[in-house]
Amino acid sequence: MKKTNIIQAKNLTKKFGDFTAVNAITFEVKQGEIFGFLGANGAGKTTAMKMLIGISTPTSGEAEVAGLDVYKNPEGIKKSIGYMSQKFALYDDLTVKENITFFGGIYGLSRQQIKEKSTLLINELGLQKVAGELVGSLPLGWKQKLAFSVALLHDPKIIFLDEPTGGVDPITRRQFWEMIYKTAYEGTTVFVTTHYMDEAEYCNRVSIMVDGKIEALDTPKKLKEQFNVASMNDVFLKLARG
């Protein structure tokens, strides 16, 4: 049975004055998929993602996220998605528990739900001992995992990860990808931007953006075949150098 599309974009475009940051991109993401969104810095990844998460209105084109139109219902989209940026933005001067409570609160979870979720989450991450400590005192890897779990607190249909592994060591990155797999296995769609090409190999499908356009979109295996190279890194280099 064919899986339904959870993200659908058609000729999605964003212009800033004369500059076209995103140039008529068309793609779809299937439910439960790990979708890699690749591109060099300045290729338009972040702008494209901002349109999909409802904080930037497209100049033209169409897009639906979780069945909701990006023009008509950006607020509805915000409720259906989770988001984590490369800064793993949690409040350093709040404790682990206070952070969970706060973010649970702004997503409209009830006190009871927050209580259950935070106990579950703290046990799962093994943070029982530091639950009452300020997040600022935790190692980076822990913060990253916590930020990821917090972004999943309200059971979103899709989670958007904006370069989630920037600046962390390889072991932590590996563990983080295990979390991503687990999440996708449980049914949440994962939309991830990265510029680590080894990470691209972990994705079900990847798209590669160059100068505002999607130049390639397929499974890592097929892309390597298509460009006749051994690794995703080489695919990327071939595309980027034109």
Partner 1 sequence: MGRVGDRMKRFKGFIRKEFYHIFRDKRSLFILFGMPIAQIMLFGFAITNEINNVDIAIFDKAKDATTQEIIAKIVASSYFSNNETIKNESEIAAVFKKGKVKAVLIFEKDFSKNLIRDNKATLQIITDATDPNTANTISNYTNSILQKYQQEVNKDIQIAYQIIPQTKMIYNPELKSVFMFVPGVMTIILMLVSAMMTSISITREKELGTMEILLVSPIKPFQVIIGKVFPYIFLSVINAIVIVLLSIFIFKMPVEGSLFLLAFESILFIINALSLGILISTISKTQQTAMMISLMGLMLPVILLSGFIFPITSMPLPLQIISNIIPAKWFIIILKGIMLKGVGITLLWKETLVLIGMTVFFIGLSIKKYKIRLE
Joined together, the tokens standing for residue 111 give 């006190």
Q: How far is the CB of 106 from partner 1 (least distance, A)?
A: 5
The span from the CA of 180 to the CA of 155, in Å, is 14
**Does residue 108 bind partner 1 (CB under 8 A)?**
yes
> Residues 214, 25: contact at Cβ < 8 Å?
yes
The span from the CA of 156 to the CA of 70, in Å, is 17
Handedness of CA 167, 170, 171, 177 (dihedral sign): positive
Strand order in the sheet with 5-16: 19-30, 5-16, 60-65, 68-69
Among 4, 11, 57, 137, binds partner 1 (CB under 8 A): 57
Map residue 49 onto helix, strand or coil: helix
Q: How far is the CB of 122 from partner 1 (least distance, A)?
A: 19
**Does residue 133 bind partner 1 (CB under 8 A)?**
no
Q: How far is the CB of 82 from partner 1 (least distance, A)?
A: 9
**Does residue 81 bind partner 1 (CB under 8 A)?**
yes
**Does residue 204 bind partner 1 (CB under 8 A)?**
no
The span from the CA of 188 to the CA of 155, in Å, is 8
Q: How far is the CB of 16 from partner 1 (least distance, A)?
A: 8
The CA dihedral of 29, 32, 38, 41, to the nearest 10 degrees, is: 100
**Does residue 60 bind partner 1 (CB under 8 A)?**
no
| Selected range binding partner 1 among 28-36, 73-81, 178-186, 233-241, rule: CB under 8 A | 73-81
**Does residue 54 bind partner 1 (CB under 8 A)?**
yes
Q: How far is the CB of 83 from partner 1 (least distance, A)?
A: 4
- Site for partner 1, rule CB under 8 A: 53-57, 75, 78-79, 81, 83-87, 89-94, 98, 101-103, 105-108
